Chain A
């Protein structure tokens, strides 16, 4: 049995542990950058729209005197969107955000479940410390130094960021093919994946991979003289088909 990626292993009543691979600094930074762009766009969008409506003309300039309406309807909501984005969105999406979804990660509690509202709030309050002195310096250092890639907010809240594998799919054609073809289950998956990715691969890569797969599963790569792209594909499809 191969090694599972390092991560959180949670005991289950079934006796089969739940394995959750922990996200590293790269995935965290990617999710943060996406979320940062989203909240900047939302906050700026609100500000621009609010300013245009307030001024009644094509101008973003603030009023000359301190006006409560300007502050209450334009400035304060834009600041609230920017500063409370993570608190609100993580609570609403139960430990996820659009950025985390794009990075394929989510926040979980130590038992692998959805964190409580208190844990999510605590995690975000500690951003004050993690973001010091600049650009999440403290948070980045602790993520790199700790075994489970935790920032201080995660330590305080008892949470982790794990890969979600929301895009994990069953290789259907390969599973069916395996029942009757000469391939084993892993081979059927490899052929299915190769055929799936065929259009996206460079021609040389296609040929190289097709040759390797055919050799591995006992088919003679030089069986026919025709070595064009379509011929390699046909031979792979034949390999996965019933004999």
Chain B
């Protein structure tokens, strides 16, 4: 048998398996959609995978520019994806995330959390000192309405519930805070400079506004307004900044063998888990800011208790204690 005839015979025998390929492809599609509980069906996919691999290798050699090859490439890729797709159960995935993964991320981010908190605190002090000394600079940080209100001796938050209902206020605030928090994380992509900018700007604004209201004798009122929601809100700002700083450092000083992109990927995926907890905490903070903070019926002690309790709740969530994780004790 000459080479051409042999090749032709091989091709014929190969194409006679087309029905098996179709069955394999259909099975892979069905299993990928999760529409089969049949264990035997799933086991057969492993055989299909080997069959497709074997036949694809021959088709790549015998019929490189054919539609048959295109079909087999697609069927093989689908079988590969279906076979290598791990089991995913929402309940256990969430439990693992909150009990094990987020506490591990927080431990990993500890130095970044310390540094982002220090940067934020320095920015607050800087903003406070700046406006304390040059009150006219408040125009750089606050809106004209806010300035006019404080100059009249009234906080802009007073009577807020007469204008906007609590639910609307909460939704607006939490959406805004979540976007700022996500931006602080994503902006780490600019080698950490974006995160630094967002932390610095927010710190300066907070310090400047506090200094301005202090100059008009309204510091206690402002403290009363922010104490319930602010403890967690500001902490989350520092946590997001820490996640962004980790992403930035991964780009500046890659720790992975794969280089900057690989290092960026590992840092972003790892620290990104913390953002889920941050978003949930900001939902709670937004609700407090809409329902508790502007409501004059809540006394200062009640607001302080709520703020402290929610902050402790945040610590417990981030340490995994809420989900059965125990603090590690040294071995006796």
Contact = CB atoms under 8 A, between A and B. Distances in A.
A212 B168 CA distance: 70
A117 B101 CA distance: 14
B73 A165 contact: yes
B265 A18 contact: no
Interface in B203-246: none
A33 B61 CA distance: 39
B163 to A, nearest CB: 7
B11 A125 contact: no
A157 B268 contact: yes
B84 A66 contact: no
B12 A179 contact: yes
A119 B269 contact: yes
A46 to B, nearest CB: 16
Interface stretch (B109-117, B183-191, B280-288, B304-312): B183-191
Contacts of A12: 53, 80
| Max count, chain A CB within 10 A of own CB: residue among B70, B81, B189, B272 | B81
A71 B167 contact: yes
Interface string B175-209: 00001001101110100000000000000000000
A185 B11 contact: yes
A205 interface: no
Interface string A121-132: 110011011000
Given A66-B163, A129-B186, A186 B63 contact: yes
A113 B67 contact: no
A171 B68 contact: yes
Contacts of A164: 74
Contacts of A20: 77
A189 B164 contact: no
B212 to A, nearest CB: 28
A106 B62 CA distance: 29
Contacts of B75: 168
A19 to B, nearest CB: 6
B81 A112 contact: yes
Contacts of A156: 189, 247, 264-265, 268-269, 272
Interface stretch (B14-22, B121-129, B133-141, B144-152): B14-22
B273 A118 contact: yes
Nearest to B88: A117
Interface string A90-118: 00001000000000000010011110011
Given A185-B66, A186-B66, A113 B84 contact: yes
B298 interface: no
Interface in B46-90: 49-50, 53-54, 56-57, 60-68, 70-71, 73-77, 80-81, 84-85, 88
Main secondary structure of the interface of B (DSSP, over half): helix
Contacts of A186: 63, 65-66
A57 B201 CA distance: 47
Contacts of A2: 64-65
Contact of B80 (A10, A117, A119, A169): A10
A125 B182 contact: yes
A121 B277 CA distance: 13
Contacts of B76: 16, 18
B302 interface: no
Contacts of A114: 81, 85
A76 interface: yes
A8 B15 CA distance: 27
Shortest 10 CB-CB contacts between residues of A and residues of B: A14-B53, A156-B268, A165-B74, A68-B167, A16-B53, A68-B165, A168-B74, A2-B64, A113-B84, A122-B272
Given A71-B167, A117-B93, A156-B264, 8 more contacts: A14-B49, A68-B165, A76-B171, A114-B81, A157-B269, A175-B15, A185-B68, A189-B67
Interface of B: 8, 11-12, 15-16, 18, 21-22, 32, 49-50, 53-54, 56-57, 60-68, 70-71, 73-77, 80-81, 84-85, 88, 93, 163-168, 171, 179, 182-183, 185-187, 189, 247, 261, 264-265, 268-269, 272-273, 275-276
14 contacts: A1-B64, A14-B49, A68-B165, A111-B84, A113-B84, A121-B272, A121-B276, A158-B269, A165-B77, A168-B67, A168-B73, A170-B68, A171-B67, A179-B15
Interface of A: 1-2, 10, 12, 14-16, 18-20, 66-68, 71-72, 76, 94, 108, 111-114, 117-119, 121-122, 125-126, 128-129, 152, 155-158, 164-166, 168-172, 175, 178-179, 184-186, 189, 193
